[in-house]
Amino acid sequence: MLPTYQRISGSQQSNPLLAVRRSFRSSEKCLILLVLLTFGFVCFGGFFFLPDNFGAERVLKVYKQFQRAGPEIFIPPPPPAHGLDGDEDLHKLSDREKLQEKIQKELPDDFLEKPDLDLSGSRTEGPEFDNMIDSGVPAAVGPIAGGPAGVVAPPQIIDEPEIKSPSKASTGSAGSNAFNALVGEDPDPLVREKRNKVKEMMMHAWDSYKLYAWGKNELKPISKRGHSGSIFGAFDLGATIVDGLDTLYLMGLHKEFDEGRDWVERKFTLDGVGIDLSVFETNIRFVGGFLTCYAFTGDRLFLEKAKYVADKLLPAFQTPTGIPYALVNVNSGPKTLLERVISHVEIFFVNLFYKISKNYGWASGGSSILSEFGTLHLEFSYLSDVTGDSVYRERVQAIRSVLREIEKPKGLYPNYLNPKTGKWGQQHMSLGALGDSFYEYLLKAWIQSGHEDNEAREMYDDAMQAIIQHMIRTSPGGLTYVSDLKFERLEHKMDHLACFAGGLFGLGATTLSNQYSEKYMEIGEGITNTCHESYVRTYTRLGPEAFRFNDGVEAKALKTGEKYYILRPETFESYFIMWRLTHDQKYRDWGWDAVQALENHCRTPNGFSGLKNVYLTEPQKDDVQQSFFLAETLKYLYLLFSDDSLLPLDEWVFNTEAHPLPVKGRNPLFRPAATSSSP
């Protein structure tokens, strides 16, 4: 062991000058070690966590901007030619083409530019647009060779010959009829005109998003940029692209669909997403959206993406009860040996300070939320069917088992459940926020199964009977509404989110004839009418976020925080379903009134925006085009003005983000997993 100081013989006097220092004191060693560790940590963090500022991607982006600015930057345009009737020099044209070809070859495969916009005006004027109005199909999309007139070709799938498109799903009549159902024009030309208006609104919303926010989650149409404050944060997950793909496909906008598919194939990833993602929102928008596109097209890209996202959500289910947490960190796992070593180090530190899955702190002592963990069944069950992997169905079936066995106060389901103890949180029940889609998925799981999941139907009927008894009320003016129930006290307030319940009760009445059917239909019609009243009692004729029934007020918002409208679809969902079930003209009239209200108050030159106060003559806009506006609001309005053959309700069931999934045993596009090989 090295001495700290040189020791002098005891017979000699200690000379300070001879006391030569050979090492450091303990405190000095600790200080030096701390400095070295800090330096190492900074270098490690800089290498692994800072953006790559030194790669070639930035140079390529700048180069691509010059390329998009026009070939004239590289080759100046020649002076007007003489003797060629003003045409350009053919030699220079050839040189320019060669240069363009060279640039394309040298770009990496994963370099994707924003899709070009059609700003020529050909979409809204000229004979092509007239043809589109007459046929309901964009003129740029041609008919299938040898197919029925007016049937547009599905998007082509490149280098995947084994995949069947909807039009080729079967050599028999089933496949052909399935694709014909994706046309769905109403025989009434006035109705077709209204449907085409909704299609034009979709094109306006999509083109604006492409121009100002391509790849971002949502658009701020007034600010003309991406919306970084969405539920998915500032990471470029393309929520609007994924949410809007199936709507584009239904409307025959296959060029736009292909643009979105190309982005999904090249750019969509959850790797490196450094935020907690909502299990519920990620499931209904991304897993649901991809599964619907797979059902429509048979394109295995969408199936692979759906499985990829669902696998990222599975860690949230690792709880003592099987009830998943609300939030999950979806950073991807490593691939190489070095990445594995680094990942283990990162996970060690993450587990010290942070949980990979967790609940919202405000949710009744860290409870999971009924409407979130109860809204996974449709997507996960279908994913097991089409992949052959039972793990997804097992996860949601475990949730079902807990909810079936747990004691329910007055037969009702409170909105909060602790995933560790399996006990209810606050005694707050709602068919609106925090509870809504759980009840929706009970009925729809039964429908999706081809009426084989009797457990789900029984749970639905039992829950509806308790809600009818304890939460459904009629106002002095005769309006039927469903109130929130807090600690055994009715609030006499109904959320806009609860307006889907009109269609829910209607479906419950018509899909099974039993002792409850007549009452269900009566309530469904009453709730749909009440939600319509909440719309027409505002200046904008768009409904508030919540409305009350007390102090002489009926179907009106009283608080400032309840007067906004963020392009929500729930009322239009009930219009659509009740129209399909009854063919009562009033539902189409109400829907058209809503289309005009959206045009008058929510449309901007660059997309659609929500409103901060629906009762004002000139309401301020919130500057957000929600992704569900494309996924739900416009889809339900489009279907409202379509023939019943477009997505018939006995063959398709809509998830809570309006992504239709095929009904087992009744829809030729169900696409079960092949038994001979895994997908």
Dump pLDDT digits (tens) for 386-419.
999 999 999 999 999 999 999 999 999 999 999 9
Q: Counting Cβ atoms within 10 Å, is residue 147 exposed (0-12), middle (13-18) or buried (19+)? A: middle
- pLDDT at residue 34 tops 70: yes
Q: Which pLDDT value is given to residue 31?
A: 82
- pLDDT at residue 47 tops 70: no
The dihedral over CA atoms of 86, 87, 89, 95, expressed in degrees to the nearest 10, equals: 140
Catalytic, 545? Answer yes
C-beta neighbour count of 127 within 10 angstroms: 9
Confidence of residue 105 (pLDDT cuts 50, 70, 90): low
Question: What's the whole-number mean pLDDT along residues 262-290?
Answer: 96
- pLDDT at residue 166 tops 50: no
Q: Which pLDDT value is given to residue 617?
A: 96
C-beta neighbour count of 97 within 10 angstroms: 11
Marked catalytic residue, from 256, 533, 545, 570: 545
Dump pLDDT digits (tens) for 107-127.
544 444 567 665 554 444 333
The whole-model pTM stands at: 0.76
Q: Which residue has the higher pLDDT, 143 or 394?
A: 394
- pLDDT at residue 607 tops 70: yes
Q: Which pLDDT value is given to residue 151?
A: 36
Distances (CA, A) of 468 to 196, 477, 483, 529: 39, 19, 10, 17
CA distance 343 to 334: 7
Q: Comparing 32-46, 186-200, 584-598, which segment has the lowest mean pLDDT?
A: 32-46
CA distance 78 to 72: 9
- pLDDT at residue 179 tops 50: no
Q: Average model confidence (pLDDT) for the chain?
A: 82
CA distance 343 to 275: 17
In the block, residue with structure tokens 């492409």: 210
Dump pLDDT digits (tens) for 542-556.
999 999 999 889 999
Question: What's the whole-number mean pLDDT along residues 194-213?
Answer: 98
Q: Which pLDDT value is given to residue 18?
A: 43
- pLDDT at residue 15 tops 80: no
- pLDDT at residue 19 tops 70: no
Confidence of residue 526 (pLDDT cuts 50, 70, 90): very high
Q: Which pLDDT value is given to residue 40?
A: 78
Q: Largest Cα–Cα distance of the chain, in whole Å?
A: 120
Question: What's the whole-number mean pLDDT along residues 91-109?
Answer: 55
Question: What's the whole-number mean pLDDT along residues 568-575?
Answer: 98
Task: Report yes or no: 497 and 432 within 8 Å, Cβ to Cβ.
Answer: yes
Dump pLDDT digits (tens) for 459-475.
999 999 999 999 999 99
Q: Comparing 159-173, 183-197, 617-631, which segment has the lowest mean pLDDT?
A: 159-173
Strands 480-482 and 546-550: unpaired
What single letter denotes the amino acid at residue 528? Answer: T
Supply the DSSP symbol for 632. Answer: I
Angle at 472 between CA 466 and CA 478, to 5 degrees: 155
Q: Which pLDDT value is given to residue 25?
A: 77
Dump pLDDT digits (tens) for 305-358.
999 999 999 999 999 999 999 999 987 444 444 544 554 454 445 444 446 789
Question: What's the whole-number mean pLDDT along residues 465-487?
Answer: 97
Strands 493-495 and 546-550: antiparallel
Residue 428 pairs with which residues in a beta bridge?
A: 486
Q: Which pLDDT value is given to residue 116?
A: 65
3 dihedral zone (left: phi>0; alpha: psi -120 to 50; beta): beta
Q: Positive or negative, the Cα torsion across 614, 617, 620, 624?
A: positive
Question: What's the whole-number mean pLDDT along residues 219-230?
Answer: 95
Residue 101 pairs with which residues in a beta bridge?
A: none
Dump pLDDT digits (tens) for 634-662.
999 999 999 999 999 999 999 999 999 99
- pLDDT at residue 304 tops 60: yes
Task: Report yes or no: 663 and 670 within 8 Å, Cβ to Cβ.
Answer: yes
Q: Which pLDDT value is given to residue 118?
A: 59
Question: What's the whole-number mean pLDDT along residues 208-218?
Answer: 98
Coil, strand or helix: which one is 659?
coil
Question: What's the whole-number mean pLDDT along residues 355-367?
Answer: 89
Number of continuous H segments (helices) and E segments (strands) in the chain: 23, 19
SS (H, E, C) 401-429: HHHHHCCCHHHCCCCEECCCCCCECCCEE
Residue 21 pairs with which residues in a beta bridge?
A: 5
Percent of the chain, pLDDT > 70? 72
- pLDDT at residue 499 tops 60: yes
Q: Which pLDDT value is given to residue 355?
A: 61
Confidence of residue 146 (pLDDT cuts 50, 70, 90): very low
Task: Report yes or no: 184 and 191 within 8 Å, Cβ to Cβ.
Answer: no
Q: Which pLDDT value is given to residue 454?
A: 98
Coil, strand or helix: which one is 250?
helix
Domains and CATH numbers, the chain: 187-662 (1.50.10.10)
What single letter denotes the amino acid at residue 135? Answer: S
